[in-house]
Amino acid sequence: MRSLDKEDIENLAVGAAILGTGGGGDPYLGKLTAIQALDEGYEINVVDVKEVPDDALVIPSAGMGSPTVIVEKIPKGTEIINAFKTLSEYLGREVYATMPIEAGGLNSTFPLAVGAKMGIPIVDADGMGRAFPELQMTTFHINGVTVTPMALADERDNTVLLKTCDNYWAEWIARDITIRFGGTAWIALYPMTGKELKKAAIPGTMGLAEKLGAAVRETKESKGNPIDAVLDVSNGFELFKGKIVDVVRRTTGGFARGEIKIEGIDEYKGQNLLVHFQNENLVAIKDGEVIASVPDLITLLDLETAMPITTEAVKYGYRCFVIGIPCSEMWRTEKGLEVAGPKYFGYDVEYKPIEEIMGGMQ
Amino acid sequence: MTYRLGIDVGGTNTDAVILDKNDQPVAKIKVATTEDVTTGILNALDGVLKDSSVDPSEIKYAMLGTTHCTNAIVERKNLARVGIIRIGRPATLSIKPLISWPEDLVEAIGGYTHIVHGGHEYDGRELAPLDEEEVKRAVKDLKEKGVESVAISAVFSPVNNEHELRVAEIVREIMGDVPISLSHEIGSISLLERENAAILNAAVVKVAEIAVKSFENALKKKGIDAQLYITQNDGTLMSAEYALKYPVLTIASGPANSLRGGTFLSGLKNAVVVDVGGTTTDIGVLVNGFPRESSVAVEIGGVRTNFRMPDLISIGLGGGSIVEEVNGDVKVGPRSVGYRLEKEALVFGGNTLTTTDIAVSLGRIKLGDPSKVENLDKTLVEKAAGKIKTMVEEAIDRMKTSPEPVPVILVGGGSIIIPDELRGASEVIKPPHFEVANAIGAAIAQVSGEIDKVFSLEERSREDVLKEAKEIAVKEAIKAGADPNTVEIVDIDEVPLAYLPGNAIRIRVKAAGYLKI
């Protein structure tokens, strides 16, 4: 077990934005809830997956709903605690620890304050290793852990206990409850034992995010090369370096979809990269050839600051590095690719691990 | 004859112009900004009055662009003690006001905070009823603590402002005539950033009062009895009275004035404006004659805010930037001799090689003693010139929205260092009076009216809602002093609120027109 201080939390937020692969929302608000919890004297403790006893109950926590509402109606902070109480009463067991369902974006940082205020640790792990838009897009799901029983709560102490026939129905019904609550719900979901956790979670992703953030923030101060540090920490690959020359956007089915065209500079001069996104960056094509695809991570980093560029903010004229980071092996199984492979997102692309593609090129 | 006076107080220089009724400059001057600001303004007034022999009594309008408020926040000086009331219980407690603020700034404003029950949901429903007894207790506490200014924010106040307005009434009942900053009048959706903007506004009310008073006194001293206006960061004017209420809107008015001056002097409505000062260069974009606004949160003095600000890139390049060789490479800026240029640059007999020396050496401008740069190493000069060109070109490229070449307007005293040809520019224009474009931008500024509100499209058509929004914006502009015959809609922005039922849409409309003279 280790404790996080403010510096660790700042690092985590930057790293979570890198793992957000352009989407997933800003980890900023969750970071502030964690900092306030520390100011109020709470401790934020993190445990490794292997420290969790096999019979312990672990319940991940998250916010759900419209980002526009979350930035306006900031949580009270006790909503998830109510959800936990309801769920643990139903299960008749004490909760041992909580954890994020996604390592990237908005939901990566909220569980910190939840664990702190409940006096339980946060497991250094998640169910995506990145950010994805739907509740069932997790390694928990592909390993047979169910979203429900789950509990949803709002700031008025309304609490809903939900049990559904499968994970898709959980997503479907929970969305409606969220609307009644006023656009956001705070949820405790995917309850699992320590034994299930060890099989279904991606270990070490919180620590990875911290290291990524530290790499960017520290090398920037020492005027080193943050990109090298990021690639080193993440076992990632430099895919491209260039200038964004065009961004095409369209909104379909609630997703912001589009393509980013990048023209190579320096050693990439004369080459072109096309990045397809749906909230997150999903497929990268260099001069007509796919060089990385979901579920591997594709992130754009500002050339000067190495700070990640979101698909919302991306625009003509940005100079950036494009990096690729290998996803968890669990995503590379048949079931994993069925849930979150390029075909699920509508791309006629045969998934190939990024190491193989980059290895073949060198 | 009636004249108008434009003054722009910058970090280094205070510029002034007098325009005749045909908007022609009859006098212009650049003097050093002084520590107390007022002396600089008086010096500038002396200069233009002497230059033009205009009778001070014929100056009927005086427009001031000032950095007082920006400086006060950055330097944490003369800030008011602020009482903060957030309306949002039972929600929002997990991030209290000021959490993300720099400690020294919180110390400077005191920052007494209360969070009370109330606020609204995205669809206009009440999040919780306003508890007036709770509000009264909070206000009494703030009064006891001796706060000088009050900031009020409420959850979803851009959708429904009732609770903010009611709390403001209660504050008046208990505290009397204290300045009140309401978040919905300053910022947009996103509670923390909007609240921050309101708190910053509340913090600079005293500074604004000093600025306006000292401007008034300076004018009086010179026998000028003019109507007084202050420029704001969208390049339009506000009355002195309005500026005292919304002083935070003066932040970044300097670059906005330069952009407006650029459009006026060049006659172009859509272009990139490069404003080169002594130490930095600000690059902004004109869209229909007005500064393009930033679409992302802007940090001021270390605080994240979301009120409208011009979209600018600032680079460390100016007329006083130091040129030096480092490991065989030529480095330009960000270090600068700043206002000491006329002592330290080589052409003025100093010992520091600056970008101005490079411009003189290339024969782009005659300044000081050109013989002092005759013997400069040619490769060094060429490398430095190349570096300056690339720095500006890259910044211009980042501000464009497509690869198409665009016209580039050069303004500001330091723009002599920029070449006449730039990659990505369809033409490079250095208009007459370019060096005082900001003061001219202040003098010719229009008055505007604005609306920023979330509408529901449940029972009304989009056209209907847009029409209402436009009418309100026009009315606001006229109320602010615009001539009804000249008022035009200058900007419309529609944002559908994603992932929500009820077809909510956020509409912002701005109208602007010339002062009714």
Antiparallel, parallel or unpaired: β A150-153 and A184-188:
antiparallel
pLDDT given for residue A338 in this prediction: 95
Q: Which residues of A touch B498 (CB under 8 A)?
A: 66-68, 254
What is the token pair recorded at A139? Answer: 């390694």
Q: Which residue of B has its CA nearest to A79?
A: B91
Q: Which residue of A has its CA nearest to B194?
A: A72
Treating both helix axes as pointing N-terminal to C-terminal, what angle do B162-175 and B132-145 enclose, rounded to 10 degrees? 50
Amino acid residing at A71: V
Residues 32-91 of B with CB under 8 A from A: 88, 90-91
- Specify if B155 maps to a domain: yes
Q: Which residue of A has its CA nearest to B127?
A: A182
Q: State the DSSP H helix or E strand holding residue A237, giving kind and residue range, or none if neither.
A: strand A237-252
Size of interface A-B (CB pairs under 8 A): 107
In angstroms, the separation between the Cα of residue A5 and the nearest Cα of chain B is: 15
Q: Which residues of A touch B189 (CB under 8 A)?
A: 68, 71-72
Are A112 and A28 found together in one domain? yes
CA dist A212 to A6, A29, A232, A310, Å?
16, 19, 9, 17
Determine, for residues B99 and A32 on separate chains, whether the beta-carbon distance falls below 8 Å. yes
Q: Which residue of A has its CA nearest to B125?
A: A182
Tokens 């009331």, residue? B85
Are A248 and A122 found together in one domain? no
Q: Rg of chain A over CA atoms, in angstroms?
A: 20
- Specify if A49 maps to a domain: yes
3-state SS, one letter per residue, for A221-233: HCCCCHHHHHHHH
pLDDT given for residue B36 in this prediction: 79
Q: Judging by beta carbons within 10 Å of its beta carbon (0-12, 13-18, 19+), is residue B36 exposed, middle or buried?
A: exposed
Q: Which residues of B touch A179 (CB under 8 A)?
A: 500-501
Determine, for residues B500 and A113 on separate chains, whether the beta-carbon distance falls below 8 Å. no
- Specify if A216 maps to a domain: no
Rounded to an integer, what distance in angstroms lies between the CA atom of residue B431 and that of residue B181?
40
Residue closest to B104 by CA, chosen among B85, B79, B83: B79
Q: Which residues of A touch B400 (CB under 8 A)?
A: 316-317
Determine, for residues B399 and A69 on separate chains, whether the beta-carbon distance falls below 8 Å. no
- Specify if A163 maps to a domain: yes
Determine, for residues B94 and A77 on separate chains, whether the beta-carbon distance falls below 8 Å. yes
pLDDT of B404 > 90? The answer is no
Task: Report yes or no: A176 at the B interface, CB cutoff 8 Å.
Answer: no
CA dist A31 to A109, A310, B346, Å?
6, 18, 51
Determine, for residues B95 and A66 on separate chains, whether the beta-carbon distance falls below 8 Å. no
pLDDT given for residue A144 in this prediction: 95
Q: Which residue of A has its CA nearest to B424?
A: A317
Angle, CA of A263, A269 and A273, to the nearest 5°: 35
- DSSP annotation of B100: T
Could you say which of B93, B119, B121 has the minimum Cβ distance to residue A183? B121
Rounded to an integer, what distance in angstroms lies between the CA atom of residue B113 and that of residue B42?
41
State pLDDT tens for residues A65-110. 877 788 899 999 999 999 999 999 999 999 999 999 999 988 999 9
Which CATH number covers residue A19? 3.40.1610.10
Residues 32-61 of A with CB under 8 A from B: 32-33, 35-36, 39
In angstroms, the separation between the Cα of residue B125 and the nearest Cα of chain A is: 9
Q: How confident is the model at residue B309 (pLDDT cuts 50, 70, 90)?
A: confident
Mean pLDDT of all residues in B362-375: 89
Determine, for residues B401 and A316 on separate chains, whether the beta-carbon distance falls below 8 Å. yes
pLDDT of B498 > 60? The answer is no
Rounded to an integer, what distance in angstroms lies between the CA atom of residue B352 and that of residue A128?
57
Q: Which residues of B touch A78 (CB under 8 A)?
A: 93
What is the token pair recorded at B5? Answer: 């006076």
Residues 96-115 of B with CB under 8 A from A: 96, 99-100
Chain B interface mutation, best of A29, A72, A157, highest count of B Cβ atoms under 10 Å:
A72
Rounded to an integer, what distance in angstroms lies between the CA atom of residue B8 and that of residue A356?
61
- Specify if B492 maps to a domain: yes
Task: Report yes or no: B400 at the A interface, CB cutoff 8 Å.
Answer: yes
Q: Which residue of A has its CA nearest to B394?
A: A317
- Specify if A76 maps to a domain: yes
CA dist A287 to A19, A240, A263, A295, B170, Å?
25, 11, 10, 21, 65
- Specify if B161 maps to a domain: yes
Task: Report yes or no: A247 at the B interface, CB cutoff 8 Å.
Answer: no
- Specify if B110 maps to a domain: yes
Domain boundary among B137, B161, B178: B178
Determine, for residues A74 and B400 on separate chains, whether the beta-carbon distance falls below 8 Å. no
Domain boundary among A203, A233, A267: A203
- Specify if B133 maps to a domain: yes
Could you say which of B94, B96, B400 has the minimum Cβ distance to residue A316? B400
Are A42 and A189 found together in one domain? yes
Q: Which residue of A has its CA nearest to B124?
A: A182
pLDDT of B238 > 90? The answer is no
Domain boundary among B140, B155, B178: B178
B289, B269 Cβ separation under 8 angstroms:
yes
State pLDDT tens for residues B59-108. 999 999 988 888 889 888 899 999 999 999 999 999 999 998 999 999 99
Domain boundary among B137, B163, B178: B178
Chain A interface mutation, best of B87, B93, B95, B121, highest count of A Cβ atoms under 10 Å:
B95
Q: Left, alpha or beta for A360 (phi > 0: left; psi -120 to 50: alpha)?
A: alpha
- Specify if B256 maps to a domain: no
Query: Which range, of A341-355, B86-100, B162-176, B362-376, averages the lowest pLDDT?
Result: B362-376
Are A189 and A329 found together in one domain? no
Amino acid residing at B446: Q
Beta-carbon contacts of residue A49 (< 8 Å; ≥ 6 apart): A123, A124, A125, A197, A198, A201, A203, A204
Task: Report yes or no: B121 at the A interface, CB cutoff 8 Å.
Answer: yes
CB atoms within 10 A of CB B365: 13
pLDDT given for residue B350 in this prediction: 92
Are A80 and A156 found together in one domain? yes
Beta-carbon contacts of residue B357 (< 8 Å; ≥ 6 apart): B323, B345, B346, B347, B372, B373, B376
Rounded to an integer, what distance in angstroms lies between the CA atom of residue B511 and that of residue A18?
40
Residue closest to A273 by CA, chosen among A297, A241, A251, A227: A241
Q: Which residue of A has its CA nearest to B399?
A: A317
Are A292 and A145 found together in one domain? no
Antiparallel, parallel or unpaired: β B303-305 and B227-231:
unpaired
Q: Which residue of B has its CA nearest to A71?
A: B190
Provide the number of structural domains found in chain B: 2
Residues 72-131 of A with CB under 8 A from B: 72-78, 113
Rounded to an integer, what distance in angstroms lies between the CA atom of residue B111 and that of residue B84?
7
Task: Report yes or no: B393 at the A interface, CB cutoff 8 Å.
Answer: no
Determine, for residues A316 and B90 on separate chains, whether the beta-carbon distance falls below 8 Å. no
Q: Rg of chain B over CA atoms, in angstroms?
A: 24
- Specify if A208 maps to a domain: no
Residues of the domain holding B460: 446-513
Which CATH number covers residue A284? 2.40.390.10
DSSP codes, A90-134: HHTS---BB-BS-SSSGGGTHHHHHHHHHT--EESEESSSS--SS
Q: If DSSP codes are grouped into helix, strand and coil, which group holds residue B97?
A: coil
Question: What residues pair up with B154 in beta bridges, in sequence order?
Answer: B87
Residues of the domain holding A264: 224-360
Determine, for residues B99 and A155 on separate chains, whether the beta-carbon distance falls below 8 Å. no
Q: Judging by beta carbons within 10 Å of its beta carbon (0-12, 13-18, 19+), is residue A53 exposed, middle or buried?
A: exposed
Chain B interface mutation, best of A6, A40, A61, A74, highest count of B Cβ atoms under 10 Å:
A74
Rounded to an integer, what distance in angstroms lies between the CA atom of residue B317 and that of residue B341?
14
Q: Which residues of A touch B100 (CB under 8 A)?
A: 32, 35
Are A192 and A229 found together in one domain? no
Are A277 and A332 found together in one domain? yes
- Specify if A156 maps to a domain: yes
Are A235 and A342 found together in one domain? yes
pLDDT given for residue B328 in this prediction: 81
pLDDT in tens, chain A (362 residues): 999 999 999 999 999 999 999 988 889 999 999 999 999 999 999 999 999 999 999 999 999 987 778 889 999 999 999 999 999 999 999 999 999 999 998 899 999 999 999 999 999 999 999 999 888 899 999 999 999 999 999 999 999 999 999 999 998 999 889 988 988 999 999 999 999 999 999 999 999 999 999 999 887 777 677 888 899 999 999 999 999 988 888 766 556 688 999 999 889 999 999 999 988 999 999 999 999 999 999 999 988 778 898 887 788 878 899 999 999 999 999 999 999 999 999 999 999 999 999 987 65
Are A151 and A263 found together in one domain? no
Rounded to an integer, what distance in angstroms lies between the CA atom of residue A231 and that of residue A205?
15
B225, B102 Cβ separation under 8 angstroms:
no
Determine, for residues B91 and A155 on separate chains, whether the beta-carbon distance falls below 8 Å. yes
Q: What are phi and psi of A4, to 5 degrees?
A: -100, 140
- Specify if A214 maps to a domain: no
Provide the number of structural domains found in chain A: 2
Determine, for residues A67 and B399 on separate chains, whether the beta-carbon distance falls below 8 Å. no
When the pLDDT of each residue in chain B is averaged and rounded to a whole number, the result is 91
In angstroms, the separation between the Cα of residue A348 and the nearest Cα of chain B is: 28
| Torsion from C-alpha of A194, A199, A204, A205, nearest 10 degrees | -110
Amino acid residing at B378: K
- Specify if B122 maps to a domain: yes
Q: Which residues of A touch B92 (CB under 8 A)?
A: 73-76
Beta-carbon contacts of residue B291 (< 8 Å; ≥ 6 apart): B233, B234, B235, B255, B256, B259, B260, B284, B285, B310, B311
pLDDT given for residue B396 in this prediction: 92
- Specify if B495 maps to a domain: yes
Are A304 and A156 found together in one domain? no
Q: Which residues of B touch A314 (CB under 8 A)?
A: none
Could you say which of A33, A66, A68 has the minimum Cβ distance to residue B94? A33
Rounded percentage of chain B residues whose pLDDT exceeds 90: 62
DSSP codes, B426-481: EEEE--TTGGGHHHHHHHT-EEEEEEEEEEE-SSS-HHHHHHHHHHHHHHHHHHTT
pLDDT of B458 > 80? The answer is no
CA dist B28 to B8, B24, B196, B446, Å?
12, 11, 38, 20
Query: Which range, of A121-125, B133-137, B467-471, averages the lowest pLDDT?
Result: B467-471
Are A17 and A150 found together in one domain? yes
Determine, for residues A68 and B191 on separate chains, whether the beta-carbon distance falls below 8 Å. no
Could you say which of A73, A243, A254 has the minimum Cβ distance to residue B91? A73
- Specify if A210 maps to a domain: no
Task: Report yes or no: B128 at the A interface, CB cutoff 8 Å.
Answer: yes
